Amino acid sequence: MLSKSQAKVFFLGGTIVTFAIFLGLSWNSLSNEVPKKTHEENLTPQVISGKHIWEKNNCMGCHTILGEGAYYAPELTKVYERRGEAYIKAAVMSKTPWAPRGRQMVAYAMTEQEANDVVAFLKWIGEVDLNGFPAKPDLKK
Amino acid sequence: MKYKSQKVAYWFFALSMLLLSLQIVYGFIMAFAHMGYDVLHQITPFNTARAVHTNLLVVWLLSGFMGAAYYIIPEEAENELVSVKLAYVQLISLAVVGVVAIVGYHFNYWEGRKFLEIPRPLDWLVVVNVLTFLGIILVTLFKGKKRTTTSLVLTMGLVFAALLYLPGMIWFDNQTMDSFFRWWVVHLWVEGVWELIMGGILAFLLIKITGVDREVIEKWLYVIVGLTFISGILGTGHHYYYIGVGKAWLIIGGIFSAMEPLAFLGMALFAIAMYRKGEKKHPNKIALSWTLGTAIVSFVGAGLLGLAHTLPGVNMYTHGTLVTAMHGHLAFWGAYGMIVLAFISYALPNLTGRKLYDSTTGLLAFWLSNIGMVGMTVAFGVAGVAQVYLERKVGLEFGDVQKEIQVHFVVLAVCATFFTTGIGCYIYEFIKYGRPNDEALETITNL
């Protein structure tokens, strides 16, 4: 039967081995995959500024992006493709809560420039290769 | 209790209770918003309520873990805490950071990164706070007479949790990188090192409650935390399926995260086996209910419900829907909420000297909160599955689907009321116990 010291070896050994594999895979992802899949060359100052605005207003507190965030408002990874620039700008520049289907968004009343930055960020994120996410609705007629 | 300094734990538990109550209030604000009654939109829009709700969860759990550590370490190391004054300073600073963060969220003062919303200056305060805490624990442990496996596993969990907070503080321009490292904190906390903390606390409780030989309990503790890390570390891959990294994570994440329930199954079987094996029947029935409860509910919530949507083919459709909220609620409740409440139920009689071991209110608290939380999980699950089909499979608009599933949030709120009543009973008992006092020393040491 397993002794306490064998159990300890199982714990420490298992942890060290899996953590080493994890670090190796992470290193590979970050140095080889991320630059290509996210088109890092397109990360312009405007896109980065858009990311700042995205975070400053905690957009993830209602929406999801890359499928991450809250589930109160639509997933926005492909919003540029789905709605286009004019719609996004109208939503973030609105001085009254944007509520196309009843549910209210905070009225951010962004400036033209801020809105352009947000659009640039959302356009960039829409082009990231996400291994097929989000899937196309396969029961849609 | 055996050591006077253990009393400081009480105040961490009291802070926990306060923050848990507030967390529930913000949960209701969100449930009502989902039902279509976003009446507090001007003061507490959904994103504020959401940030407050999840951050309060983290802080009340951490406060509970810290309290548990301040109780367990002196007893295991056979040494008074090295500085009780510093522990109180640490408690107050934890409360201050929590309150400033929560108030700040109402005024757009945050970082806007899911679960790590605390703004950067406050992050540094968190670091100082946690270092102080770890300092007290580590010095107490190393000056103590004994270093038991239970105390080492618990301490290891606390140290790793502190270290893993750091990757979340690195700034990245690339959203994919940001997300990649955010999971080092969030996933490796809740599906890694927090399980060490949970395992350590559970082992301590089982040793005290069942009277089974420490060597046996600690041997299985190693096996369980071993399974946790072997599955959980590479299981991080289930957060990397669709964020802009390679497809290898689909395979690695799929296989290892499918193994994650094993650790929780181990924990459940372990707790039940030790309970049946134990010859000593501890009179504290309420602590026993919570201890066995946490082992079983964590298996269902964290293990099985996690498995339900962790495979890449399923997650392609459920990723970023209410299905995640379903899993999240029962997982956090079962694995972490209940272990903290189990520990408080065990510690209170020893800290205060009052033995309310078998009170009706105490048992009511256990059953009502659990029934309520299971009901909430079902409501989230039904809403989530309906959302997945209507939105992701049929392709209806998000907003239209949300209207269709509004009714499930009425069910959610009803179940949440049961849950809240249960927690109300728990807090009522907590208050009834009164303050910790020195008269409780030694008189009940072996219980």
- Between residues 54 and 73 of chain B, which touch chain A (CB distance below 8 Å)? none
Number of domains in chain A: 2
Q: Give how many domains chain B has, as a whole number.
A: 1
Give per-residue pLDDT as tens, B364-373.
999 999 999 9
Residue A14 maps to a domain? yes
φ, ψ of residue A69 to 5 degrees: the values are 140, -140
A46 Rama sector, left if φ>0, alpha if ψ -120 to 50, beta otherwise: alpha
Domain that holds residue B118: 4-438
Q: Please state, as a whole number, how many other Cβ atoms lie within 10 Å of the Cβ of residue B41.
A: 20
Whether pLDDT at B442 is above 90? no
Joined together, the tokens standing for residue A30 give 């970050």
Q: Say if residue A9 is in the same domain as residue A71.
A: no
Residues A56 and A97 in one domain: yes
Is residue B144 a part of any domain in this protein? Answer: yes
Give yes or no: residues A119 and A76 share one domain: yes
For position A120, which CATH number holds?
1.10.760.10
Residue B444 within any structural domain of the chain: no
- φ/ψ region of A70 (left if φ > 0, alpha if ψ in -120 to 50, else beta) reads beta
* A16 in any annotated domain: yes
Cβ pair A70:B46 closer than 8 A: yes
Enumerate residues 36 to 75 of chain A having a beta carbon within 8 A of any beta carbon in chain B.
Answer: 37-38, 40, 43, 47-48, 51, 54-62, 64-75
pLDDT in tens, A48-71: 999 999 999 999 999 999 999 999
Sequence-ordered alpha helix ranges (H) in B299-404: 305-307, 312-318, 322-331, 338-352, 360-387, 398-404
Question: Are A13 and A33 in the same domain?
Answer: yes
Using pLDDT thresholds of 50, 70 and 90, give the confidence band for residue B1: confident
Is A51 found in the same domain as A120?
yes
Give the confidence band of B275 by pLDDT, cuts at 50, 70, 90. very high
What per-residue confidence (pLDDT) applies to B334? 98
Instruction: Choose from B42, B242, B255, B390 for mutation: most chain A CBs within 10 A.
Output: B242
In a domain, A136, yes or no: no
Quick one: A70 and A101 in the same domain?
Answer: yes
Q: Length of chain B, please? A: 447
pLDDT above 50: residue B211: yes
A47 and A28 co-located in one domain: no
Domain of residue B287, CATH code: 1.20.210.10
In the structure, what pLDDT confidence band is assigned to residue B280 with cuts at 50, 70 and 90? confident
| Residue A11 shares a structural domain with residue A48 | no
Residue A141 has pLDDT above 80, yes or no: no
Are residues A7 and A60 located together in one domain of the fold? no
Let me know whether A26 and A62 are in one domain.
Answer: no
Structural domain boundaries, residue A67: 42-126
Q: What distance in Å separates residue A71's CA from the closest CA in chain B?
A: 6
The string of pLDDT tens digits covering residues B90-123 is 999 999 999 999 999 999 999 989 888 999 999 9
Within this chain, do residues A58 and A116 fall inside the same structural domain, yes or no?
Answer: yes
Neighbours of A33 (CB within 10 A): 19
